[in-house]
Structure 1
Amino acid sequence: MEDSRIALPMGTALDRFIKIKQDDFQYASGELSQLLRDIALAGKVVNREMNKAGLINIIGSIGTQNVQGEDQQKLDVLANIRFVRAFTKGQEVCAIISEEDDEVIEIDNHKKYIVAIDPLDGSSNIDVNVSVGTIFSIYRRISPIGSAVEEKDYLQKGIEQVAAGYILYGSSTMLVYTTGHGVNGFTYDPSLGEYLLSHQNMTIPENGSIYSINEGSSLSFDDGVKKYISYCRENNYSGRYIGSLVADFHRNLLKGGIYIYPATNKNPNGKLRLLYECNALAFIVEQAGGKAVDGKKRILEIQPTSLHQRVPFFVGSENMVNKAVFFNENS
């Protein structure tokens, strides 16, 4: 067995990387590795569908709403179908929590893992050819294998995640994930049909000069957030807001910055979902040396109380998040 601590050559295929790194996972027995492969495969399928979306009339709203009351895009539904199908056929998942489904999707009570997923975050941006993404989070069930899945299995704190990641569909398609031993990114090569290691041991700068927030809602922000935005402007930080969470997060991960979706009058508990958006990105950013809070409290320590629970979200470079928390706590 190769030493998993040794840096691997750039361009290493995802399957080989997962196999070599499998022993980093304390329960290593092959199931998690296969589950990550299932996610990668579904990502390839979604990427293919998105690349021809404008040609086969699968952009725009489908005319229905999800459990959050948000208009479902055609590709939201399609991506959800692709990922649920991949998990069902992969046979490593006992249950799925999806943004697009009201309730837990139970698959096989004899399996160990639960997946929480936002199949296509930012899907409304596809109509204008802006980057979007998939966010996923993996937990190990608590209840005995073979029994029905219980609430304690899927309402776990983020610190209990065994893996998390995202797929960014942009100028290139990237899969970024962590199993709690650093963060690695893989770029999809369509000519080979493979994800290849392109960003090894990713780290986020402690400081940055980018702040990402929807300033159009600034009149309804708390005083602490308003003061932090003023601080950013006074220090000549760059305001960069794409409106696709994965894309904004990915840029700040590479360059250093902070992403904020605070509480507002319209969304007093924030807009982003704890289980399948915030927890995953919080796990990734902490593994990369950054920080994620709800304005005061560490995201990964929040006890979920419902499947689609929302929280305010401050995530990014450690010193920038600390400064935002300072303004929040002193306003």
Structure 2
Amino acid sequence: MSRDQDAILDEIFETLAALAPEIRASLPGRRVKSDETNPSGETRLEADAYADELIEEALGGIDGVGTYASEEQAEPIDVGSGDVSIACDPLDGSSNIKPNSPMGTIIAVYEGDLPASGDELLASGFILFGPILTMDIARDGRVTEAIVEDGEIDVINDDVTIPDEPTVYSMGGRVPDWTEGFAAFIEEVEQEYKLRYGGAMVADVNQVLTYGGSFSYPALKSAENGKLRLQFEGIPMAYIVECAGGVSSDGTESILDVDPERFHQRVPVHLGNEELIDTVEAKLAAHD
């Protein structure tokens, strides 16, 4: 990576950290639904729209960033002349605002145009709005975890690694909508591991990074590609988990190897310790 791209990445994550306290402070007054839906047909909260506008304005103004895209918008937006593209989920798990549960922001930084594959990913990260405001950044094959205080990044772990012995699992989708293969996987893991599912991908994946285990939003009977979007959630979170020593899969291959065909493309997502992801792939194959 060139020196210029290093500087761009530094500024992107520093800017996002600076925005985090403002996004968090804005949530109490924006818990209501807006009159709009996003391109995936989901009703937007006022908090979704506010976070999206805030992040677009700040990151789009960085020299070197040419494109800003979010799952709240139909198409990528040209914001400059650079060759770096940002794909963002401004408020992952925003439905958790009403019950006051954790949520976060996911960001992926790609080289070139969108949609892009894992090969074009330069870095990714997430902010977790939990009891503590934290940020995880995957870059150059390594994951760092930081506390964000007063908009500043304070690194507390410069080499995040998934524990060797997994203890938790989480999964999305309604049970009647699961495929036979995925139901067989859950039947096996629930005998040994603790269920942790909070409805925000950032929080659930952070549990996996902390305790070891697996996170899945699988292919469903009603939606063969599941719910999560490749550009905004699948690739960036897969990269974080793989950089931390874990494995990602769409059910057959690494999510980083999935070909991007559409901007809002969805993908089944399985993330976690290798032994668990191997198990889910085997169960899915056995019931195919």
What corresponds to 1:11 in structure 2?
A: none
Provide the rounded CA distance (Å) in 2 between the counterparts of 1:209 and 1:181: 24
Alignment counterpart, residue 230 of structure 1, candidates 159, 167, 187: 187
Alpha carbons 2:61, 2:79 under 8 Å: kept: no
Alpha carbons 1:60, 1:124 under 8 Å: kept: no
What corresponds to 1:279 in structure 2?
A: 235
What corresponds to 1:140 in structure 2?
A: 111
Residue type at the aligned position of 1:260: S
What corresponds to 2:100 in structure 1?
A: 129
Residue type at the aligned position of 1:32: L
Alpha carbons 1:224, 1:330 under 8 Å: kept: yes
Alignment counterpart, residue 168 of structure 2, candidates 169, 187, 210: 210
SS at the partner of 2:137? strand
Alignment counterpart, residue 40 of structure 1, candidates 17, 27, 36: 17
Alpha carbons 1:213, 1:261 under 8 Å: kept: yes
Alpha carbons 1:79, 1:119 under 8 Å: kept: yes
Structure 1: gaps of 5 or more residues: 1-25, 142-152
Residue type at the aligned position of 2:94: S
Residue type at the aligned position of 1:265: K
**Off by >4 Å, runs of 4+ in structure 1:** none
What corresponds to 2:127 in structure 1?
A: 167
Provide the rounded CA distance (Å) in 2 between the counterparts of 1:92 and 1:42: 19
RMSD: 1.4
> How much does 1:93 deviate?
1.1
SS at the partner of 1:252? helix
Residue type at the aligned position of 1:46: I
% same residue: 31
Residue type at the aligned position of 1:47: R
Number of aligned residue pairs: give it. Answer: 285
Deviation digits for residues 250-293 of structure 1 (CA, Å, limit 9, x no counterpart) = 01111001011111133221100000101000011110000110
> How much does 1:218 deviate?
1.7
Structure 2: gaps of 5 or more residues: none
1:164-203 equivalences under 5 Å are: 164-190=124-150, 193-203=151-161
Deviation digits for residues 64-115 of structure 1 (CA, Å, limit 9, x no counterpart) = 111100010110000001100102332331001101000111111x212100
SS at the partner of 1:76? helix
Provide the rounded CA distance (Å) in 2 between the counterparts of 1:91 and 1:27: 15
> How much does 1:200 deviate?
2.2
Residue type at the aligned position of 2:183: K
Provide the rounded CA distance (Å) in 2 between the counterparts of 1:106 and 1:207: 45
Deviation digits for residues 3-62 of structure 1 (CA, Å, limit 9, x no counterpart) = xxxxxxxxxxxxxxxxxxxxxxx2122222222222222223212323xx1xxx311211
> How much does 1:327 deviate?
1.1
What corresponds to 1:144 in structure 2?
A: none
> How much does 1:223 deviate?
1.4
Alignment counterpart, residue 202 of structure 2, candidates 230, 246, 255: 246
> How much does 1:158 deviate?
1.1
Alpha carbons 2:85, 2:109 under 8 Å: kept: yes
What corresponds to 1:63 in structure 2?
A: 35
Provide the rounded CA distance (Å) in 2 between the counterparts of 1:207 and 1:157: 30
Alpha carbons 1:270, 1:311 under 8 Å: kept: yes
SS at the partner of 2:135? strand
Provide the rounded CA distance (Å) in 2 between the counterparts of 1:239 and 1:65: 31
TM-score by length of structure 2 reads: 0.95
SS at the partner of 2:174? helix
Alpha carbons 2:17, 2:148 under 8 Å: kept: no
> How much does 1:189 deviate?
2.3
Provide the rounded CA distance (Å) in 1 between the counterparts of 2:171 and 2:138: 25
Residue 43 (structure 2) pairs with residue 86 (structure 1): no
Alpha carbons 1:274, 1:308 under 8 Å: kept: yes
Q: 1:181 to 1:265 in 2, by over 3 A?
A: closer
Structure showing greater Rg:
1
